[in-house]
Amino acid sequence: MKLLKLYQPSCTPCQFVENFLQDQGVEYESINVQEEPDIAFQFGVMSTPVTILVDDEGKEVQRVVGFKPDEIEEVINKL
């Protein structure tokens, strides 16, 4: 399983997610949707932040849209 954080540099809630994930000590991959729009398209991301848990085959398991600490923690617990 892998955790993806899709964000935009100018997005304040994206920074909240970043800080939360760092505070949790979790490994994750940050994807700037402006630099990698193909990945955003692949996952159907229309706004940021989006935190996505994917399995070893890259298939989405769970998604959190926005900064929702309780839901993000639920995703982290599945890692």
What pLDDT was estimated at residue 37?
97
Its pTM surpasses 0.85: yes
Q: Looking at residue 12, what is its pLDDT? A: 98
- Residue 49 belongs to what domain range? 2-76
Q: What positions carry a catalytic annotation?
A: 11, 14
Task: Provide the domain count of the chain.
Answer: 1
Quote the pLDDT of residue 2: 98
* CATH number of the domain where residue 6 is located: 3.40.30.10
pLDDT the model gives residue 70: 98
Per DSSP, the chain holds a count of helices (H) and strands (E) of: 3, 4
Q: What are 19-69's pLDDT values in tens digits?
A: 999 999 999 999 999 999 999 999 999 999 999 999 999 999 999 999 999
Tokens 């997610």 correspond to 17
| Long-range contacts (CB closer than 8 Å, 24 or more residues apart) made by 65-70 | 66/13, 67/13, 67/16, 67/17, 67/20, 69/20
Backbone angles phi, psi at 9, to 5 degrees: -60, -35
